[in-house]
Amino acid sequence: MVGVDPELGFAGGESQVLGLTLELLKLGHDAQLLCDPGGLLWQRARAAGVGCHPLRIRNALDLAAGMRLRAFLSRHRFDVVHFHTSRAHAMAPFASGMADALVVTRRMDYVPNRWFAPYLYNRAVDGVAAISQGVARALKAAGVAAQRIAVIPSGVDCVRFAPPDDEQRAAARRALGLQPAQIAVGAVGALELRKGHRFLVDAMAELSRANLALRCFVAGDGSQRAALQEQVDRLGLGPAVQLLGSIADPRTLFWAIDIFVQPSVMEGLGVALLEAMACGLAAVASRAGGMAEVIEDRLDGVLVAPGDQAAIARAIAQLADSPAMRSSLGGAARTRALQNFSVAAMARQTLALYQSCIGRKLKRCAA
């Protein structure tokens, strides 16, 4: 199998690509990657021992990249080519006939382009992995055939992402300047409008006006960083709300905080949310995309309406006031992550999709 992901950054999607590739290697399969040699996925995959091949894709109309992909596949025999991003998926027609099966993963819950989706999903590839039922519904709304879609939730390494011991937690909190009794809130994700961080900042302003002395840390970077910093400054929230920028290891934040918040207004599933749950954190998340499939409200987290800063504030206040509730939700969240959202489960289901696509193709050829 060769996975195709040309992105330069390393976001939730890339963590999934690397996690899947490593798990397939662990299971004894030949799993390699086609990625941009200037990107973080290339660096991290090679450091982990994954075989990587260079492929730069400038945009969905990069014909030269398509021809390079086809030439590469003509020189190497793969059973499956797995496209992981929209730019990669646009290259699928160039891979036609060069492998037993072509598969694409869809991670976003908005309806894809109705003009191109039927071709790109129904004809250019043999199967589609949707990371949530919400993503699957969006695909069907765009005309993608239901029988071609397999819902395969994102997975996280639940050994690496686990609750900290006392020493790890103390060190993580010291690094952020937190006192032992302070309650800390955190969020991890790209600073883009769809992630809804502005609503978390507004919620922190409400909590500040209610004289709740909480600390909030937001990790990530993106086009909204300057706007969010301006919002923090305008509301007089510094240093109660700190934008940390990109961090190399999100565990350093998960292990320090008490409450995780995922305030997205659009979200396929939410890798950071899964990682936080695996770390045993009580989480507040929007009922957006697949996140309502991840959390059962008040059992292993708290769900709020997307864009509702007052509801976010109320949920944070309730959790901040109740160590028992944080402990109960966090323990249940860890159990749910282990049972339903491990990288091993994702790999098993992805292998089943590969085998199903190859089997259908062989039947068509034999008919």
78-84 mean pLDDT: 97
Min mean pLDDT across 26-40, 114-128, 196-210 is at 114-128
Domain residue extents for the chain: 2-155+343-366, 166-340
- Residue 360: band (very low, low, confident or very high) from pLDDT cuts 50, 70, 90: confident
Q: DSSP letter string over 321-341? A: T-HHHHHHHHHHHHHHHHHH-
Partner residues linked to 99 by β-bridges: 78
> Burial of 21 by CB count in 10 Å (0-12 exposed, 13-18 middle, 19+ buried)?
buried
pTM for this prediction: 0.90
Kindly state the average pLDDT of the residues 147-173.
96
Kindly give, in sequence order, each residue whose CB lies less than 8 Å from that of residue 159, ignoring residues fewer than 6 positions away: none
- Looking at residue 361, what is its pLDDT? 76
Residue 282 has pLDDT above 90, yes or no: yes
Superfamily for the 2-155+343-366 domain:
Glycogen Phosphorylase B; (3.40.50.2000)
Q: Which CA distances in Å does 26 have to 44, 80, 156, 353? A: 17, 17, 15, 18
- Sign of the four-CA dihedral 44, 49, 54, 60: negative
Q: Answer for the pair 57, 88: CB distance below 8 angstroms, yes or no.
A: yes
Number of CB atoms found within 10 A of residue 313's CB? 24
Amino acid at 101: A
Fold equal for 2-155+343-366 and 166-340: yes
Q: What angle do CA 180, 245, 301 make, to 5 degrees?
A: 55
pLDDT per position as a tens digit, 227-267: 999 999 999 999 999 999 999 899 999 999 999 999 999 99
Closest CA to 154 of 13, 253, 252, 282: 13
- Report the C-alpha gap between 79 and 276 in whole angstroms: 35
Secondary structure (3-state) at 104: strand
Of 34-43, 51-60, 62-71, 102-111, which gets the smallest average pLDDT? Answer: 102-111
| Per-residue pLDDT at 180 exceeds 90 | no
DSSP 43-80: HHHHHTT-EEEE----STT-HHHHHHHHHHHHHS-EEE
Q: Answer whether CATH 2.40.30.10 is correct for domain 166-340.
A: no
Residue pair 176/184 in contact by the 8 Å Cβ criterion: yes
Using the structure block, give the residue that is written with the tokens 């955190």. Answer: 186
